[in-house]
Amino acid sequence: MSGPGFAVIDFETTGLFPTGNDRVIEVAIVHVDELGRIEGHWDTLVNPGRDLGRQDIHRIRAADVMNAPTFDQIAPRLVELLAGRVVVAHNASFDSRFLIAELQRAGHWTNANLVTLCTMQLARDFLPGTGRSLADCCAAYDIELDGAHRASVDAAATARLLGAYVESANDPAFWSEDIGAAVAYKWPGMVAQEIAWYPRPDSAHPMTAASFLARMTHHLPDVAGPAEYIDYLALLDRCLLDRHLSAHEVEALVQLADELGISRHSCEALHLEYFAGLTRIAWEDGILTTDEMADLVDVGNLLELSLEVVSAALDAPTPLAPESLAVVDPAQAFALRPGDLVVLTGDMTRSRDVWEGELVARGFTPWRAVTKKVKLVVAADPDSLSGKARKARDYGIPIVGEVALEKLTRGDSASG
């Protein structure tokens, strides 16, 4: 696996400052031989243990990294893939600084004098007058770059760009000094760990009831009664507060159903009952507004209810539920009241100062720390891994996104 040759690397990160709080959240490595030919590629998401920063740029969700390895877990394998090779990146200064910072944070001493080459800097020799971005350099060689800001895509494109440079130079001596220095470079010794790398999924499907019902067996004996049903429905209502099911919420529902002894069949019945209660509330005034219809459709889709059930709810009020199931009134479950403490976390589309001003203007209290007195936590991503989000889950405080905050603070309860 070691050199000689090149190891093209690309990181996706939470931000721009490796020596501050920013962390690596995705890494890709592509091996290129001395003649510019691609030999292999590897990539993985990385759990940074904090929020993910500008998710609109890298498009990685907190749910994607929940089960990913941490950097210290992938470090031995990563160093193995880099050893004996010239480290190459497009803007190598950025990637090498993150590499060194993460290795040092994980307790591994690293000589800062890495042997690196930068395809952005090399463009001055091979592509004079071309823009410095990876897209510009790739376009000059007609190299495809579809899905930028995905580590595997950027690393693969950079590897092909390096291959084009090697071919253009047509002189092995141009690279020999760096290749020789890379073979001699001493990386820190590490004990290999049997940690599977965790590539980013090709597509991100929204969570629905299918995400957790499939994990429950039809044959699990149901030992629950009305009290357990109410507990489950109360959690379901909290999870659907923002009409979004986060991965953390799915885990919480699975765990609670297991702890309470609620079978898959009963969970499905409880979902129907929850929807029936929501439908009755929507029809209380005898009119179903466009917003109420949209809300019922959203909840029906999240609960994986049949088209027939959802269509019937839009046509007429749902009959009263069977007495065998306990009912939680969705309209009474959660509401923000004047003075309630609200905590914000993560990089949102609106600045924190703007949101805090909005909260104050509407009679709520922005709060910086998560305590048991906080009523609501608002995150850029409801699956946020920030310390505030983790503490909120410990305390059972709802976590919602910006859209839900807008509805709740305007008194437009997400419960219909």
pLDDT values of the chain reduced to their tens digit, one per residue, 416 residues: 577 999 999 999 999 999 888 999 999 999 999 999 999 999 999 999 999 988 878 889 888 898 899 999 999 999 999 999 999 999 999 999 999 999 999 988 877 789 999 999 999 999 998 888 999 999 999 998 887 788 999 999 999 999 999 999 999 899 999 999 999 999 988 887 789 999 998 766 677 887 778 776 554 455 567 888 888 888 898 888 888 888 889 889 988 988 888 888 888 889 998 898 888 888 888 888 888 899 899 999 999 898 889 998 888 665 544 444 444 554 456 788 899 999 999 888 888 899 999 999 999 999 999 999 999 999 988 888 888 999 999 998 999 988 888 888 876 444 43
Q: Which of 279, 304, 331 is the last residue of a domain?
A: 331
User: Are 282 and 154 in a shared domain?
Assistant: no
Is residue 300 located within the same domain as residue 382? no
Question: What range defines the domain where residue 320 resides?
Answer: 210-331
Residues 282 and 388 in one domain: no
Q: For the packed helices 264-282 and 226-239, what is the interaxial angle rounded to 10 degrees?
A: 60
One domain for residues 317 and 365:
no
* Residue 1 covered by a domain: no
Do both 128 and 156 map to the same domain? Answer: yes
191 domain-assigned: no
Same domain, 175 and 237: no
Three-state DSSP class for 263?
coil
pTM: 0.74
CATH classification of the domain holding 384: 3.40.50.10190
Clarify whether residues 301 and 360 are in a common domain.
no
Please tell me the distance from the alpha carbon of residue 380 to that of residue 52, in angstroms, as a whole number. Answer: 9
Domain boundary, last residue among 128, 149, 184: 184
Contact 180, 174 (CB under 8 A): no
66 and 46 part of one domain: yes
Q: Residue 107 domain-assigned? A: yes
Are residues 78 and 163 located together in one domain of the fold?
A: yes
Residue 205 burial (CB < 10 Å; 0-12/13-18/19+)? exposed
Report yes or no on 203 lying in a domain.
no
CB neighbour list of residue 199: distance below 8 Å, 6 or more residues apart: 43, 44, 45, 152
Q: Can you read off the two tokens belonging to residue 331?
A: 């309209």
Residue 348 near residue 360 (C-beta atoms within 8 A): no
Task: Give how many domains the chain has, as a whole number.
Answer: 3
Residues 6+ apart with CB under 8 A from 129: none
Which residue spans within 60-121 are E strands per DSSP?
86-89, 116-118
Distance CA 19, CA 87 (A): 20
> Of 101, 110, 55, nearest to 79 (Cα)?
110
Residues 242 and 158 in one domain: no
